[in-house]
Amino acid sequence: MRYFFTSLTLIVSLLSCSVSAQNWTQKADISGLARWGAVGFAAGDHGYVCTGTDGTANYNDLEEYDPSSNSWTTKAPFPASARREGAAFSINGIGYVGFGRTSPQGQYFNDLWAYDPQSNSWTAKASCPSGGLASPGVFVLNGKGYVLGGRTEAATYSNQLWEYDPSNNSWGQKSGLPGAGRSGPIAFSVIEKGYVGSGNDNSSDQCSSDFWQWDPTTNVWTQKADIPGPARRTGAAFVVNNIPYAGSGWNGSTYLTDMYRFDVTNNMWTAIANYGGAGAYTPIAFAINDKGYLGSGSTSSGASPQFWEYNTVLVGIATHGAAVSIVPDLVGDEIVLTGWTNTQADAYFLMDATGRRITGGTLKTNEIAVPRSMSEGVYLRELIKGNSIQLSWRFAKAS
């Protein structure tokens, strides 16, 4: 077998800028007005941001993002009432938008509308039997959409899980999230499981850190490792190549920028580069191809049109702004870390293209063995210090 670094390899040498600058890139602001409480989804090779508010007026516009030109185009407006804190997901190239509220004391919605990017048109779908919900969690599994929790018009917090099947335009109730209901949870799906955590906890009206996995086959919830950092609500998540990334949001007093990657196989969170923009309440997030996107939200300066791209291929650098010089070289069946010291990195992980961890361990020397049992393909190697990524790069194994 032979090994080689792919064209995606980026070597870190003598860098002293921040980690965020390396992984996050600011993109064109979301067109229309600055907003928070919007919803976002990706369909095909484009992203979409819809609804939201500036704190006074609610919106019903739909803005389309083209990553190839880094530009926004206004599309057909959402045909129902303008709103904020709704829900959105996409299935087979069709976007679905609904739920939300006009204000804390205003109208709450349980409607659902389908957007077809090809015809630039909207179609009304069946309303959810849940009643009106604001800031529910949303994920998609096996061609079906799922809506979890949310604040009700009666100011209670739901723990119900509802399934939408677009094939027959129907809703069905599934097993509810154990424990307290919540609004503003982080939610995503990966490798045929749904995941929900954090949010505004119904038991105390405070933020939470707990994190749960839902299995659609058994309709059973299993508690997983808590989301790191401060307990939070209204954070955001995106999934790239079956690897989920989550964080941001608000903890009741601070707008958060910390972000984490979740290792599904090993039930472990790892810190990644902090969000490059301003911390925000109710940001939107989605993934297009191999990039993640996060933006908008209510910041310490008010409603924001900000929009940032996360590149999962780019590398991190030393924490605390220290200059590092670690050059990975392939020598036979080993990776030699030229310039390495244990003050720069003290552990390593090896993952396949799906994000499944193959091996890892403590760095005791500057040599890391490449397992001979690995099949052909592209792999990701990371160097870790504490719980932060110091350096990541890709390499391939071929016969």
Q: Cα separation of 263 and 354, whole Å?
A: 10
Please, are residues 102 and 111 in contact by the beta-carbon 8 Å criterion? no
Looking at the fold, whether 293 and 326 belong to one and the same domain comes out as no
**What pLDDT was estimated at residue 117?**
98
Q: What is the pLDDT of residue 8?
A: 31
Q: Are residues 133 and 279 in the same domain?
A: yes
- In this structure, what is the dihedral angle of CA atoms 11, 376, 239, 305, given to the nearest 10 degrees? 40
Contact (CB, 8 A) for 381 and 328: yes
Question: The domain spanning residue 116 has which CATH number?
Answer: 2.120.10.80
Do 8 and 126 fall within a single domain?
A: no
**Pick from 311, 337, 370: which residue ends a domain?**
311
Residue 397: its pLDDT value, please?
67
Q: What integer pLDDT is reported at residue 241 of this predicted model?
A: 84
Nearest-CA neighbor of 51 among 41, 61, 36? Answer: 61
Domain that holds residue 266: 23-311
How many domains does the chain divide into? 2
Q: Which of 265, 282, 311 is the last residue of a domain?
A: 311
Sequence-distant (6+) residues with CB within 8 A of 240 are 287, 290, 291, 292, 312
One domain, residues 144 and 203: yes
Is 122 in the same domain as 47?
yes
Between CA 245 and CA 311 the distance in angstroms is: 11
pLDDT of residue 330: 73
What pLDDT sits at residue 136? 98
- 378 shares a domain with 247: no
How high is the pLDDT of residue 15?
28
CB 147 within 8 A of CB 130: yes
Alpha helix stretches (DSSP H) within the chain: 19-23
How far apart CA 337 and CA 314 sit, in angstroms, is 18
Regarding whether 182 and 237 lie in a shared domain, the answer is yes
Q: Is residue 288 located within the same domain as residue 150?
A: yes
How many CB atoms are located within 10 Å of the residue 309 CB?
19
Residue carrying structure tokens 């301003």: 278
Query: Residue type for 242, please?
Result: N
Instruction: Tokens for 51, please give them.
Output: 């609804």
pTM: predicted TM-score of the whole model, two decimal places: 0.79
Q: CA nearest 134: which of 251, 74, 15, 51?
A: 51
Is the same domain home to 267 and 334?
Answer: no
What pLDDT score was predicted for residue 3?
55
Domain boundary among 311, 338, 367: 311
pLDDT at site 398: 58
174 in the same domain as 71: yes
pLDDT at 265: 83
Do 361 and 304 belong to one domain?
no
352 and 243 inside one domain? no
CATH value at residue 362? 2.60.40.3080
Closest to 250 (Cα-Cα) out of 156, 135, 161: 135
Q: Which of 163, 164, 105, 114 is nearest to 134 (CA)?
A: 105
Question: What pLDDT, on a 0 to 100 scale, did the predictor assign at position 2?
Answer: 54
Q: What are phi and psi of 320, to 5 degrees?
A: 60, 15
Which residues of the chain fall short of a pLDDT of 50?
Answer: 5-22, 314-323, 399
Annotate 73-97 with b (16+ C-beta within 10 A) or e (fewer).
eebeebebebbbbbbbbbbeebbbb
